[in-house]
Amino acid sequence: MSEFLISIKIEALEEGGYLATSDDIQGLIAQGRTIAETMEIAQDVAKKIVESCIEHGDPLPFQAKRTRKQVKQEVKIPIAVSI
């Protein structure tokens, strides 16, 4: 099993919820009620796109990067706090 890193952009929608897209994987669009849910859906969509490329012998999306074990990553995560 291989692991890939992709970048996604998440934006808040006027009608509520969030939309995720990616410049790394063309066609990746995911919508969810929360940022966490949107990220999870985007991850599933990306996985299906990459698996489809592999299954059909198509090249992987250009920007997809394989990760190596024990790579440290810095990630910013949102937290909601009622004040």
Query: Which whole number is the average pLDDT over 58-76?
Result: 65
| Rounded Cα gap, residues 22 and 69, in angstroms | 24
How many folded domains does the chain comprise?
Answer: 1
Condensed to tens digits (0 to 9), the pLDDT of residues 4-47 reads 788 899 999 999 999 999 988 888 999 999 999 999 999 999 99
Q: 21: domain CATH number? A: 3.30.160.250
> 54 is in which domain, residue-wise?
4-66
- In the block, which residue shows the tokens 């808040």? 12
74 occurs within a structural domain = no
Query: Between these two residues, 68 and 80, which has the higher pLDDT value?
Result: 80
72 occurs within a structural domain = no
Q: Which of 52, 3, 2 is nearest to 26 (CA)?
A: 52
